Structure 1
């Protein structure tokens, strides 16, 4: 028996805003969408185009408050081949929420407050 990563899920309040953010910030593209017949939810899967792992964004029609992300420090991590260019882009977008120069990494925050760690491909 062997388990493989398939996806991670983030619940989002404004699906279109989140799709725009993940495309602009990380180049993640929609590859699949599930719409509830009654309109109560939409699930969108995003891909980086090179790995099988996906990010699932779930929008719930009746959710009317910010998500409580708690005190734990869960996050996604993506590596990038041009760390300097990525950092510049995220600086311009104003989405860098934490930097650790000693470790050579930084984090961006999405519109719902989820953190994404950015690491150079060659660490």
Structure 2
């Protein structure tokens, strides 16, 4: 028996705002979308352009009006980048950096719903 990562899910309050953020901040693109026949939810799967790569599923619920309670927000996604300095500059300009750890050479950005995303340098 062999398991492989398929996707992670984040529930979002404003799907279009989240899609724009993930496209601008991380270059993710929509791969596919599933909508409930009654319009009660939409699932959007995002990818980084690599074949058979791990995906991010954004779930929008029509009747949800309140922001999600993220608790202590101790869970996060992590993305590696080939040019950490350029990514840091872009995210600073976007105003989405929420925590930096220069000693470790990493930082975190926050999406429109408050989920944290770790940005790490690509391993050489």
TM > 0.5 fold call: yes
TM-score (norm 1): 0.97
Q: Determine helix, strand or coil for the equivalent of 1:52.
A: coil
Corresponding residue number in structure 1 for 2:109:
108
Corresponding residue number in structure 2 for 1:34:
34
Task: Give 1:72 deviation, angstroms.
Answer: 4.5
Kindly report which structure 2 residues correspond to 1:47-58, keeping only aligned pairs within 5 A, or say none: 47-50=47-50, 52-58=53-59
Corresponding residue number in structure 1 for 2:78:
77
Corresponding residue number in structure 1 for 2:10:
10
Could you tell me which runs of 5 or more consecutive residues in structure 2 were left unpaired when the two chains were aligned: none
| CA deviation vs aligned residue, 1:86-120 (integer Å, no higher than 9, x gap) | 00000000000000000000000000000000000
2:21–2:112 contact (8 Å) kept in structure 1: yes
Q: What is the aligned-residue RMSD (CA, Å)?
A: 1.0
Could you tell me which runs of 5 or more consecutive residues in structure 1 were left unpaired when the two chains were aligned: none
2:73–2:115 contact (8 Å) kept in structure 1: no
Q: Determine helix, strand or coil for the equivalent of 1:34.
A: strand
Q: Deviating runs (4+, > 4 A) in structure 1? A: none
Q: Determine helix, strand or coil for the equivalent of 1:74.
A: coil
**Larger CA deviation: 69-78 vs 106-115:** 69-78
TM-score (norm 2): 0.97
Corresponding residue number in structure 1 for 2:24:
24
